[in-house]
Amino acid sequence: MIEYERHRTDDTNLTLVQDRIEEVVVSLQSSGIVDGRLIPGIEFTADVTKNVYHGLGRKYQGYITVSVNSKCIISVVDSANINPSQYIALQSIGTPCTAALWVF
C-alpha cells in the first residue's frame, strides 16, 4: 500500500498541495489494483488448469496479463477455483505459453 505522511506547516499553499496529494493517494488505494503482486514466468500447458499461488494473503480481485510469449487466451477456470484466498486457477486455452501476471 501507498503510505502518505503529511508535514505540519503554516504554509497555506503547501497545505493545499498536501490535500490534493492525499486525495490522489486515497483514490489509488481504494482502486484495489495497486495492492497486487507481479508473478513472472508462469508456464502454461495448453488446456490444462494450473493453480497459481498469488501470495496476496487475501482473496484476489482480478488479474492482468502483463506479458506473454505466444498468442493465447489465459482464463480463470471457475470450477477449479476453490481456494481464491491462496490460488487463482488459470488455463491457457488452445496454446501453451509462458506469461507474467499482475494479480490484485
Domains identified in the chain, total number = 2
- Are 95 and 66 members of one domain? yes
Instruction: Report pLDDT digits (tens) over 10-50.
Output: 999 999 999 999 888 888 777 778 789 999 999 999 999 99
Same domain, 17 and 66: no
Distance CA 90, CA 103 (A): 12
Same domain, 14 and 44: no
Residue pair 89/76 in contact by the 8 Å Cβ criterion: yes
Chain segment 44-72, per-residue pLDDT in tens = 999 999 999 999 999 999 999 999 999 99
pLDDT value of residue 1: 56
Is pTM, for the whole model, over 0.75? Answer: no
Whether 14 and 42 map to the same domain: the answer is no
